[in-house]
Amino acid sequence: MSLNGLHLTADLAAVDAELPVMTDLRALQALCVDAVRGAGLQPVGHLFHPFAPAEPGLQAGITGVVLLAESHLAVHTWPELGRVTLDVFVCNRTADNSVRAQALLDELVEAFSPGERLLQRLLRGELRD
């Protein structure tokens, strides 16, 4: 039986640290879960963790994941650096989820309005059975 997947990554720079989704866990979680649903993918759980500031008063980022029936979305924010990384990994076992994965990534990238972006893609699991 075949199992392959598409893994999309986006590394963002020059992101405005004042955007709520850079430091507000609830805002980032809502953005991610809503975007997953909007793209037609199925969330099965999520976990977001706020980092402590290096010094009181400094900004600190968030790391989080939405587990999907189709694999996962991961996000990390570094407001102190204006950086964000995004991963969208979908498996194409019962349906081709590539278009949904790209739509999800595109929506999240735009939500951060980055000054600079590096987009990469990996084909996963192209193994003989």
CA pair distance 5, 25, nearest whole angstrom = 29
| Position among 25, 27, 65, 103 found at the interface with its own copies (CB under 8 A) | 65
CA pair distance 119, 103, nearest whole angstrom = 14
Tally: H helices and E strands in the chain? 3, 6
CA pair distance 88, 14, nearest whole angstrom = 21
| Position among 21, 68, 101, 108 found at the interface with its own copies (CB under 8 A) | 68
Residue 7 or 100: the one with the smaller Cβ distance to its own copies is 7
Q: Does 1 bind its own copies (CB under 8 A)?
A: yes
Got the DSSP string for 67-83? EETTEEEEEEEETTTTE
| Position among 17, 25, 33, 74 found at the interface with its own copies (CB under 8 A) | 74
* Known active-site residue 71: yes
Q: Which of 2, 91, 98, 113 is catalytic?
A: 91
Greatest CA separation for the chain: 54
Among all residues, which ones are annotated catalytic? 71, 76, 91
Using CB under 8 A as the criterion, which residues of the chain lie in contact with its own copies when the complex forms? 1, 3, 5, 7, 9, 11-13, 44-47, 49, 51, 63-65, 67-69, 71-72, 74, 76, 78, 81, 83, 85, 87, 89, 91, 93, 116-118, 120, 122, 124-129
